[in-house]
Structure 1
Amino acid sequence: MGFSAIIGGNLMAGGELGSLMNLHAFVIVVGGTLGATLLQFPPKVFLRGLRIVVWIVKPEKLMLNKQIDKIVRWSTMARKEGLLGLETVIDGEKDSFAKKGLQLLVDGNEPEVIRDCMEVELSTKEHLDLQAAKVFDAMGGYSPTIGIIGAVIGLIHVMQNLAKPELLGSGIATAFVATIYGVGLANLLFIPIANKLKAHIFQATQAREMIVEGISSIAEGENPRNIELKLSGFLLEK
């Protein structure tokens, strides 16, 4: 919608689509932005950022209601059959984080130990994901500045060819279009992607915190009904 509004507005004002197409400006802005970002982040973090960008259109399915129901069933089973009765549940659990918590529970660890072990993994996972999201934050910061560099390069090209009017057009086009590319990519693509990824990471972290709380409550021997009431507080929609 954002890109369409800019292109449509340009056409409505009598401009041509070709006036916004400039390969030189694109190479300067995109190449410069990627170069600066690659220098800031280790390759592992940069590649992870590219992998998780799919979350903006296909985020992880959290399904908190179903997760609460599962935890309540685990609690009921633990009260009836003991913690060892949950061994049959572990193999069928697809969520590796919940599976780790169940294994700690079945092994008879204290609630504090279970909570500490799971929170270490929780905080590490959140940190890695936030670092990956910051890749796009960085792109959003560098892109407008690289666009200004492209504009200066275009103006230099203009000043060097004042005696050759046929070369002035390309230099002026590079100068203005590079600025549009830099500011446009930052505000319509990079920064929105970073913020959406951060929002999803926050929600995923809350979902894992709910699992930590639920499994710790089972270890403490809380009543299944009380566990259900406690975990319902994590639901975003009341």
Structure 2
Amino acid sequence: MDVLSIIGFLLASIALIGGSMAKGSGLVALLDSAAFLIVIFGTAAAGLVHTPMSTMKHALGIFVWVFVPPRIEAEAMVEKLLQWSQVARRQGLLGLEAQVEDETDPFIQKALQLLVDGGEPDVIQDIMEVELDTREEKDLNAARVFESFGIYAPTLGIIGAVMGLMSVMQNLADPSKLGPGISAAFVATIYGIASANLFFLPVAGKLKSVIKDQTRMHALIVEGVVSIARGENPRNIETKLRGFLA
């Protein structure tokens, strides 16, 4: 569980609601159905037009990483790779065959299976690097979906503000309608800027950070498996892998 993400969203809520109440506006001042419709629905519409279906599905699927990022324990992974290297030196690569079924991570399982099958080190590296690059690009494209929402939302907020002011101009003869119209215009602006800077852009940034960590760990795994395939000394492998953890 990523505690910082939870604290961040709580503080964002406190900043908006507490700030509104401290200014004397109250929570009700932040509630406006017209502004919500224009900004949130409009942002969603722009994102849907902009994003392919497969990327949108993946973006919604990895959103949970903001709070529960996938973890590969670095130290444990290094120790596992060193154990594999020792088994390979004593029993040969086929001695690792039983380990393949024990792995639940598809990436690790594929790399280990290529090793057990006796693939050449360069071939294993080429195959796993393609897998790594493809996976990273897929995840980054999904993270950019939230980034695009963060770009569209402020613009939709401005559109909502302009529409609110248009309503004000149409009702200049009725002073009782001027206040609500101006308020709705400002609320739309708040929705756009706040949703972008307190939700969409931070979510995109956190996802990119998680993806970067995953890529580094997967690169460590590839390097370890290729080193085993080359028959390198376990001590040298350990020194090399710990460089990823510095």
The ranges of structure 1 where at least 4 consecutive aligned residues each deviate by more than 2 angstroms after the TM superposition are 164-170
Choose from 174, 177, 186 the match for 1:164: 174
Secondary structure of the residue aligned to 1:120 is helix
CA contact (8 A) 1:105 1:215 kept: yes
Letter in 1 for 2:77: Q
Match of 1:82 among 63, 81, 92: 92
Q: Distance in 1 between matches of 2:84 and 2:105?
A: 14
Deviations 1:13-36 (A, max 9, x none): 222211111111011000110011
Q: Identify the residue that residue 142 of structure 1 maps to in structure 2.
A: 152
**Shift in Å, 1:98:** 1.2
Task: Confirm or deny that 1:201 pairs with 2:211.
Answer: yes
**Residue 70 in structure 1 maps to residue 80 in structure 2:** yes
| Matched pairs, number | 236
TM-score by length of 2: 0.93
Distance 1:59 1:98 in 2: 18
Letter in 1 for 2:43: T
Distance across 2 between alignment mates of 1:149 and 1:13: 25
Distance in 2, Cα, partners of 1:60 & 1:129? 13
Counterpart of 2:98 in structure 1: which amino acid? T
How many Å separate the matches in 1 of 2:145 and 2:222?
29
- The reply to whether residue 97 of structure 1 matches residue 97 of structure 2 is no
Distance 1:20 1:101 in 2: 52
Higher mean alpha-carbon deviation, 16-25 vs 191-200, is at 16-25
* Residue 68 (structure 2) aligns with: 58
* Among candidates 102, 120, 124, match of residue 130 of structure 2: 120
Aligned-CA RMSD value = 1.0
Q: What TM-score do you get using the length of structure 1 for normalisation?
A: 0.97
How far did 1:3 drift?
A: 2.3
**In the alignment, which of 21, 35, 40 is matched to residue 11 of structure 1?**
21
Q: What is the alpha-carbon distance in structure 2 between the residues aligned to residue 43 and residue 169 of structure 1?
A: 42
Answer yes or no: is the 8 Å Cα contact 1:22–1:173 preserved in 2. Answer: no
How much does 1:102 deviate? 1.2
1:228: how far off? Answer: 1.1
Unmatched runs of 5 consecutive residues or more in structure 1: none
Query: How far apart in 2 are the matches of 1:220 and 1:152?
Result: 66
User: Aligned partners of 1:140, 1:64: CA distance in 2, in Å?
Assistant: 33
Cα deviations by residue, 1:41-60 (Å, 9 ceiling, x for unpaired): 11111121111110011000
Partners of 1:97 and 1:6 in 2: CA distance: 42
Distance in 1 (alpha carbons) for counterparts of 2:155 and 2:75: 45
1:44 aligns with 54
| Contact 1:147-1:183 within 8 A present in 2 as well | yes
Structure 2 Cα separation of the partners of residues 185 and 119 of structure 1 = 37
Partner SS for 2:159: helix
Separation (CA, whole Å) in 2 of partners of 1:117 and 1:104: 9
| Counterpart residue number, 1:131 | 141
> Which position in structure 2 is the counterpart of 1:185?
195
What one-letter code is carried by the residue in structure 1 that aligns with 2:129?
A: E
CA contact (8 A) 1:104 1:114 kept: yes
Residues 165-201 of structure 1, C-alpha deviations (whole Å, 9 max, x = no match): 2332332122100000000000000000000000000
1:91: how far off? 1.0
- Shift, 1:161, TM fit: 1.2
Which region of structure 1 is more displaced relative to structure 2, 164-173 or 60-69? 164-173
Instruction: Report the AA paired with residue 79 of structure 2.
Output: D
Report % sequence identity: 52
Q: CA deviation at 1:160?
A: 0.9
